[in-house]
Structure 1
Amino acid sequence: MKYNTRNIGIIAHVDAGKTTLSERLLYYTGLIHKIGNVDDGNTTMDKDIQERNRGITISSAAVSTQWKKGGNIYNINIIDTPGHIDFAVEVERSLRVLDSVVAVFCASSGVQPQTENVWFQAEKHGTSKICFINKMDRIGADFFAVLKDIEMKLNAVPMALQIPIGAENSFEGVIDLIRMKALYWIDENGETIVEKEIPHDYFSNAEEYRMKLLETLAEYDETFFDVFMNTEHQITIEMIMETVQRVCRSGAAVPVLCGSAFKNKGIQPLLDAVVTYLPAPDQLADIQGKDPKTEEVIEWKRNEGKPFSGIVFKVVIDKHMGRLAMLRIYSGKIKSGDTVQNVRTGESFRISRILQMQSDKTLSLEEGKAGDIVALTGIKDAKTGDSLSSVERPILLEAITIPAPVIRVSIEPKTNGDEKSFGLVLAKIQEEDPSLVVERDQQTGETLLSGLGELHLEVTLEKIRLNHGIEINQGKPKVSYREILTETRIHREKLSKQNGGSGQFADISFEIGPRDSNEHGLEFINMIKGGVIPTEFIPSVEKGFRAAMESGPLKGYPLESMKVTLLDGSFHAQDSAAMDFEIAARDGFKSAARQCSPRLLEPVMQVEIQSIEEHTGAITADINRRRGIITSIDEKSGRKIFTAEIPLASTFGYISDLRTLTSGRASISMKLSHYALVPDFIANTLIT
């Protein structure tokens, strides 16, 4: 019997049925013996009080389970990620450490905005994907429309491995297009699968979609193309499965299956597909990292023979076990008692225990090896994105991208007695969720909490109240604006101080203004010739400008982008130091940026609203009232779908307003689209 690992994430839009699907996966793999349901608030993956109350996933849950297929036991690590845009960091850090994903779609809603978001996040990481079209029993379910949606909206090539037998109330089972058999689930818990011949009235449809599958495989796989074109060759089931595996792992096309997780139909074939088509960790490309000292690129095979390396993708503070660092091991192995290094801090520490997560339960392990996802205890100061490695051979792996917050709120404890613990709790929640930023307003002395959306902040404040017993007063939500320069100026900045002994001297001349491209951040061009400023001081000039961008000239908001060209300057052989040039750059920015006609930028959200025909007028008028622009109005399954771009400042309270406006008959989802210039009539009220 051989052991094999699959690290999978479950990604989807809110309410596509991710958590229900995860629950069924755990039931059929034997990890749990009773099926939980989101509506009943008793699922294994959603353990948090709020997750149960709200019926949504907030933090990504990790669980390890096993599936038997063809005499092999497969170890499957499943991470159920949130579907709500406000918890995008949870999805990002999960995708960073997973090898493949199961993308879940609602059969009646199809591809929704957050599905697109997480899909393209997975694309960025080069993650293999399988699609599962869920809720085939729902009113308006249309498997073939969702296939088209995947193709058009996600720019993907879907390969249907199954087609449904019936839909909505008459959904009975699926047709396996590889083996050309009909599968039916006959008992309530869906454990017994009966295989039958394909019903007569579905046969021609099944043949048509099987041919589409074979044509797709021939198009994306040379070996299969030769067999497909050679009529003498018999195409076997094994041949098709091996080709699906190659095409899926290359990312050229994605296998699509269907079912109804709630009705316990279609789960076992999905588990079979996960272990058959998705890659094991050692089948992926070599890991790449850098030597922290020399910056030299290191490439290692993902096996146990190489030195240990791993990445901390989450920090959880458990009330019984204390601080747990969730770790994906990429190479080598570790045992309890081993000493490892945190490459970011350069510190070494001893691992107390290695645990396997079974959602809210844990299992002690003797060792963790390449490909495993484990939790470590005894790790001080580890943050999300930290690389851990062997002390002898440190390797710095690519960090995890944390999105910038777009909304903030002022907070304070209701009672003075909670003041001390309030600070500790804020530090703790920031450790667990790095997309939260806590800062003090220099002018007012208020504590400001920034996050990725209204729901994100609401959930965080509720967590402080429920988990830590601290009641909080909060101000109105405020938008995190940004600033931009709209004109270019040339400026000279000279720093010259004599204070007895060695002085300070730096002299720089530079051009400052907007970037020519739409890129973010600082574009720094060094035009210094003839050593008028020594080469070793140039990085300090760049560092000074980069630091200065954190606080713009209008209201102190960060600058979205800026271009600086260093033209000329001078230095003093005794008095000049790197720090002097950094200070000159910061001071020069403060003086020059004000002359560059700075403007405010505001976050603009892409909003999708689904409603019924009769509310069209009210919704359109409301979008216009919020300074929104409608980009499209579509119709699907008898519902109107509005896509619009609305400034974040106009979306506060939108969810409850929309419910009132449509008598609860509309749903809304939002994601950050871009930053745009704030109109003058609004900017004037903000800048005064």
Structure 2
Amino acid sequence: MKKTLNLRNIGIIAHVDAGKTTVTERILYYTGLIHKLGNVDDGNTVTDSDPQESKRGITISSSAISTQWSLNEDLYDINIIDTPGHVDFAVEVERSLRVLDGAIAVFCGASGVQSQSESVWTQSDKYEVAKIGFINKMDRIGADFDKTVQQIEDTFSVDTLVIQIPIGSGDDFEGIIDIITEKAMYWNTSDSGNTWRNEAIPEDYITIVQKSKAELLEKIAGYDDEFMEAYIEEREISESMIHKAIRNITLQRNAIAILCGSAFRNIGVQPLLNAVGRYLPSPLDIETVTGYHPDEDEAKIRQRKEDEICTGFVFKVLTDKYVGKLAMVRLYAGAVSSGSFLLNTRTGKKERVSRIIRIQADKMDEMSTAVAGDICGLIGVKDVTTGDTLTALNEPFVLEAIQFPEPVISLAIEPKSKNDEKKFVDALVKIASEDPSLKVKIDQQTGQTLLQGMGELHLEVRMEALRAQFGIEVNQGDPKVSYREQLTATVSHREVFKKQSGGDGQYADISFEIGPRDDNEKGLLFIDKIKGGVIPREFISNVEKGFIEAMKNGILLGYPIESMKVVLFDGGTHEQDSHGYDFEIAAMHGFKAAAQKAKAELLEPIMIADISCPDEYLGKITGDINRRRGIIKSIEGEQKQKIVAEIPLKETFGYISTIRTLTSGRGSVNLHMDSYKPVPKGILESM
């Protein structure tokens, strides 16, 4: 129990280039797991062990690693998942946050809150993940601690508990001041920041610290009744009281504690580890896990205890060249041992666990047993996929699955050599099973194999994997946008389908209203208003099935209809000639006829572009955005400009290279999917 109480399952979340991987590397170094510091620029960090990650200097796949940290008398086991910041790999963040209890939200002190910061923050809120904040890169030119704190409060509508402030910034950044202990901390460069010294606060910071501490105590009192009582009565408030109150506030997700430093300069990482132990939740802080019985509608709960029925969630599936399929699992309840059997509630089949391992980035440590709270790898389970629930035999229980976004871009691909065709198919099956945001489909009209993903970089990385991992050279076409269609008007229609060809004929008669949904949800909203049994109950589900099938191909250019509402209100049958499939056909035919009158329009994916560039290139950038049918949402900054714009996905192919060219290599851009919007008429007519 003590072990689980001192267990922390945490993620490092942030936007691109905030320093997540460097923070992780320093954590592993100061906890003694590694004995030599790696750097992203040198491509030798522990968690970015994939060759493409080293080459590109970004995290592509979430990495799990376990370490330990000693704080006072307690030893904390920390499972860390370093997640990608690039939006093309947001699915990695999504599935990691699904199984974490806490997170360190890392922000760059110079660039502050970015739009991708908002995306990962929203994802973490969805799964109710408790967070602490770390303002990194305080040694960067233009770093502004107070401004970044204000941005965090304004952007996320969250209260902050500032427990550290920086001493200086940019080239003058020297150390940090702990507001709680009122001590200045300076790290020793001679031993790579392994040690530091506590000193008195510099004179010019005394007033700032006194004000900051008064604000901190006042904020804490506003959230904690016991603390409020001591605060009002002006009783002595100990450091342990402050830590306890901040922990309670963090667990309830009422506010976020803010720390600062520079991971690259080895400043501030040890206090961050202390904060992980002090404030972030253990698996026992969340008492139950909610799911349901696969044959029943009502919610069920299981206690997050070792003596509960075994319940685990598969959040990632990997293929390892030595051990084969490896299922990454968060164990929520009970325990599992090597050689035992578990039930996969999706397939209804039992799976044998031959080995249990703890992942250490690219290394594996054997475990005999995993218990509630553990994150581990299971070897031997064969028919599993991301989102599966594994539970004790004869004890079905399903945890909520992860919803993955639909792809927005596709490539036509084929192996260069005919001899590679079987290997090509096997490789696609493997990479698609590992990455649920990647889809492989065959174009029914052309027979081409289409690889669909979340962005250019996403597909580029997976194509490189085909070459590097599987040794397959591939021909590829130009990227294509995945458009959507939608209906904009509601119309009524009657469709009668009848066919006679000797013997029993076919007959179905349906009257329905069709149009857009008014609840902003996706998929088909089907409303049955049939009265008097004019259509038998068993045929109504066929009508719904027919409309669902019809939505896969719109009437403008054959792209899917993203959302639609159908109200079935009348119809008829033939005593002998009516069958369920006839009503499916009637629905599909009826859709095509009615959609012509329902004013269908084409939707295109719109990307948010976060562009950073020196002031002298601002004119070139804004002119280029306008040429791409873009809309500038904001421009801010002084010497370095930050532009946020909406640009259609179709116009962003090759955009990263364009930005580099326009700014002589001094600009950068991050793109992420925002929404679908109607394609202008002039563009539609030219398609």
TM-score tier by shorter-chain length is: over 0.9
Tell me the amino acid that sits aligned with residue 288 of structure 2.
Answer: D
1:587 CA drift (Å) = 3.0
1:109 CA drift (Å) = 0.6
1:489 CA drift (Å) = 2.2
* One of 542, 545, 551 as aligned partner of 1:543: 545
- The alpha-carbon distance between structure 1 residues 55 and 530, as it changes in their structure 2 partners (threshold 3 A), is same
- Distance between the aligned counterparts of 1:363 and 1:87, measured in 2? 27
2:517 aligned counterpart, secondary structure: coil
- The alpha-carbon distance between structure 1 residues 504 and 311, as it changes in their structure 2 partners (threshold 3 A), is farther
* One of 367, 374, 396 as aligned partner of 2:369: 367
1:310 CA drift (Å) = 1.2
Deviations 1:132-185 (A, max 9, x none): 111111111111111011011222212111111121122221111112122221
Partner of residue 142, structure 1 = 144
RMSD of equivalent CA atoms: 1.7
- Distance between the aligned counterparts of 1:519 and 1:399, measured in 2? 18
1:395 CA drift (Å) = 0.6
1:445 aligned counterpart, secondary structure: coil
Deviations 1:99-128 (A, max 9, x none): 111111111011111111101111111110
Partner of residue 383, structure 1 = 385
- Distance between the aligned counterparts of 1:196 and 1:452, measured in 2? 50
Which stretch has the larger CA shift, 179-188 or 646-655? 179-188
**Does the aligned pair in 2 maintain the 1:479–1:648 contact within 8 Å?**
yes
- Distance between the aligned counterparts of 2:250 and 2:444, measured in 1? 53
Partner of residue 309, structure 1 = 311
Partner of residue 229, structure 2 = 226
- Trace 1:204-283 onto structure 2 (pairs within 5 A): 204-231=207-234, 233-283=235-285
- Trace 1:93-492 onto structure 2 (pairs within 5 A): 93-186=95-188, 187-231=190-234, 233-492=235-494
**Does the aligned pair in 2 maintain the 1:482–1:558 contact within 8 Å?**
yes
Partner of residue 640, structure 1 = 641
Deviations 1:292-329 (A, max 9, x none): 01233101121112111111111100111111000011
Which stretch has the larger CA shift, 626-635 or 497-506? 497-506
Q: TM-score, normalised by structure 2?
A: 0.97
- Distance between the aligned counterparts of 2:576 and 2:276, measured in 1? 66
1:564 CA drift (Å) = 0.9
2:421 aligned counterpart, secondary structure: helix
1:58 aligned counterpart, secondary structure: coil
Which stretch has the larger CA shift, 378-387 or 589-598? 589-598
1:494 CA drift (Å) = 3.2
**Residue 668 of structure 2 is aligned to residue 667 of structure 1:** yes
**Does the aligned pair in 2 maintain the 1:24–1:267 contact within 8 Å?**
yes
2:596 aligned counterpart, secondary structure: helix
- Distance between the aligned counterparts of 1:35 and 1:503, measured in 2? 76
1:657 aligned counterpart, secondary structure: helix
- Distance between the aligned counterparts of 1:353 and 1:503, measured in 2? 58
1:78 CA drift (Å) = 0.4
Deviations 1:234-266 (A, max 9, x none): 211111111100101111100111111111111
1:312 aligned counterpart, secondary structure: strand
2:478 aligned counterpart, secondary structure: coil
1:671 aligned counterpart, secondary structure: strand
1:115 aligned counterpart, secondary structure: helix
- Trace 1:38-49 onto structure 2 (pairs within 5 A): 38-49=40-51
Deviations 1:614-669 (A, max 9, x none): 11111111010000011111115x31111111100001111101111111121111
- The alpha-carbon distance between structure 1 residues 73 and 503, as it changes in their structure 2 partners (threshold 3 A), is farther
**Does the aligned pair in 2 maintain the 1:24–1:264 contact within 8 Å?**
yes
1:189 CA drift (Å) = 1.3
**Does the aligned pair in 2 maintain the 1:2–1:72 contact within 8 Å?**
no
Tell me the amino acid that sits aligned with residue 192 of structure 2.
Answer: N
1:472 CA drift (Å) = 1.1
1:673 CA drift (Å) = 1.2
- Distance between the aligned counterparts of 2:513 and 2:71, measured in 1? 65
Partner of residue 560, structure 2 = 558
**Does the aligned pair in 2 maintain the 1:541–1:581 contact within 8 Å?**
yes
Which stretch has the larger CA shift, 238-247 or 295-304? 295-304
Partner of residue 59, structure 1 = 61
Q: How many residues align?
A: 684
2:34 aligned counterpart, secondary structure: coil
1:270 CA drift (Å) = 0.6
Q: TM-score, normalised by structure 1?
A: 0.97
- Distance between the aligned counterparts of 1:286 and 1:500, measured in 2? 62
Gaps of 5+ in 1: none
**Residue 650 of structure 2 is aligned to residue 649 of structure 1:** yes
